[in-house]
């Protein structure tokens, strides 16, 4: 479960942006919230609403990037290749980008911190929470044309630092030598499903199952439509249509728009 995500200097975001799933202690108890092993209340559901070109996709792209970088950067990139993301493009000088994510796996809360350019990781840290405080599992920092490493709590194999690259995460690198904790973290991030990637949007795994579920359970589809309409976006229904793609037809959902007469006008006051 993701607890918190923040980033800076990433695509259309120049300043720091944060997504925090923590719930106010005074919020009423509902099925939408749960409590973790440390007593933190978190929401199970969050939605981003806004007009086109307001940054919604780029915000989701940050999670997709972190997922890819932690899990696959070692295997997907050659040693000389740049890291696959773009910083904010309208800066007069090159500045590093920052990423921070807190997440929970089987009762353990981790905090991962990253500072980088597209050419090189400048700082990378992984913490784990014990007795309400975080301790460092590993750390590397770039300075004086070399990395300084701290693997004392990470149980890394001998000579591990020799295979660590400037464009790949330590977790994805340690997975190559079957480091148990790194494999556990990589497995968790591999379970995150998304259709947002560096190159845009792709069909997400499991998406056809959702469509089939709506077709077999029309009452659930109706409930989803009611929730969708409450966002006041001018959307009314989920309309599933068969679309030809090459030599076969697939079911694709479309959102029906309310007619102009049914859309409530904005009022002042």
DSSP assignments along the chain, one per residue? -EEEEEEESBTTB-S-EEEE-B--TTSPP-TTEEE-TTS-EEES-------TTSSHHHHHHHHHHHHHHHHHHHHHS-TTSPPS----TT-SS---EEEEEEEEETTEEEEEEEEE-SS-EEEEEEEEEETTEEEEEEEEEEETTEEEEE-TTTTPPTTGGGG--TTS-HHHHHHTTT-HHHHHHHHHHHT---SEETTEE-PPTTHHHHHHHHHH-HHHHHHHHHHHHHT-SSEEEEEEEEEEETTEEEEEEEEEEPPTTTSPPP---
The Cα–Cα gap between 189 and 168 comes to 16
Which of the listed residues 201, 229, 247 is the one where a domain comes to its end? 201
User: Parallel, antiparallel, or unpaired: how do β-strands 200-201 and 196-197 relate?
Assistant: antiparallel
Q: What is the mean pLDDT of residues 240-262?
A: 63
Residues 62, 179 within the same domain: yes
Residues 128, 193 within the same domain: yes
Q: Confirm whether 38 is domain-assigned.
A: yes
Tell which phi-psi region holds residue 246, choosing left (phi > 0), alpha (psi between -120 and 50) or beta: left
What is the number of structural domains in the chain?
2
Q: Confirm whether 267 is domain-assigned.
A: no
pLDDT at 267 over 50: no
pLDDT at 206 over 50: yes
Residues 146, 169 within the same domain: yes
Q: Confirm whether 265 is domain-assigned.
A: no
Residues 110, 125 within the same domain: yes
Q: Confirm whether 269 is domain-assigned.
A: no
Which of the listed residues 162, 184, 201 is the one where a domain comes to its end? 201
Residues 14, 69 within the same domain: yes
The Cα–Cα gap between 255 and 60 comes to 20
| pLDDT tens per residue, range 130-165 | 878 899 999 999 999 999 999 989 998 889 999 999
Contact by Cβ (8 Å): 30, 125: no
The CA radius of gyration of the chain, in Å to the nearest whole number, is 22
Q: Which two tokens stand for residue 260?
A: 């102009």
Residues 111, 242 within the same domain: no
Residues 103, 170 within the same domain: yes
Lowest-pLDDT range, 115-124, 162-171, 238-247? 238-247
Q: Confirm whether 268 is domain-assigned.
A: no
pLDDT at 192 over 80: yes
Stronger pLDDT, 23 or 54, i.e. the higher one = 23
Which of the listed residues 201, 226, 246 is the one where a domain comes to its end? 201
Residues 108, 220 within the same domain: no
Contact by Cβ (8 Å): 223, 238: no
Q: What percent of the chain has pLDDT over 90?
A: 49
Residues 67, 159 within the same domain: yes
What range defines the domain where residue 65 resides? Answer: 2-201
Residues 40, 95 within the same domain: yes
Mean of pLDDT over the chain: 84
Closest CA to 86 of 49, 107, 117: 117
Task: Tell me the pLDDT band of 124, cut-offs 50, 70 and 90.
Answer: very high
Main-chain phi, psi angles of 41, to 5 degrees = -95, 130
């Amino acid at each position: 479960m993701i607890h918190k995500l923040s980033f800076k200097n990433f695509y259309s975001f120049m300043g720091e942006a944060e997504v925090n799933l923590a719930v106010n202690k005074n919020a009423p108890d509902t099925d939408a919230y749960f409590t973790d092993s440390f007593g933190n209340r978190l929401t199970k559901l969050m939605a981003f609403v806004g007009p086109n070109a307001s940054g919604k996709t780029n915000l989701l792209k940050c999670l997709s990037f972190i997922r890819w970088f932690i899990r696959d950067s070692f295997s997907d990139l050659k040693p000389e290749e740049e890291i696959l993301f773009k910083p904010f493009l309208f800066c007069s000088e090159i500045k590093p980008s920052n990423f921070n994510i807190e997440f929970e796996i089987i009762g353990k809360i981790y905090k991962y911190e990253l500072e980088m350019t597209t050419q090189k990781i400048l700082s990378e840290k992984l913490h784990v929470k014990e007795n309400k405080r975080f301790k460092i599992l590993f750390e590397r920092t770039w300075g004086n044309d070399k990395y300084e490493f701290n693997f004392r709590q990470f149980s890394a194999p001998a000579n591990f630092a020799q295979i660590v690259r400037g464009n790949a995460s330590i977790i994805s690198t340690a997975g190559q030598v079957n480091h148990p904790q790194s494999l556990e973290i990589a497995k968790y991030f591999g379970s995150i499903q998304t259709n947002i990637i560096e190159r845009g949007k792709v069909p997400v795994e499991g998406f056809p199952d959702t469509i089939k579920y709506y077709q077999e359970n029309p009452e659930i589809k109706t409930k989803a439509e009611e929730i969708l309409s409450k966002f006041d976006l001018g959307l009314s229904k989920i309309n599933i249509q068969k679309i030809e793609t090459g030599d076969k037809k697939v079911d694709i959902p479309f959102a029906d728009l309310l007619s102009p007469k049914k859309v409530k006008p904005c009022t002042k006051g």
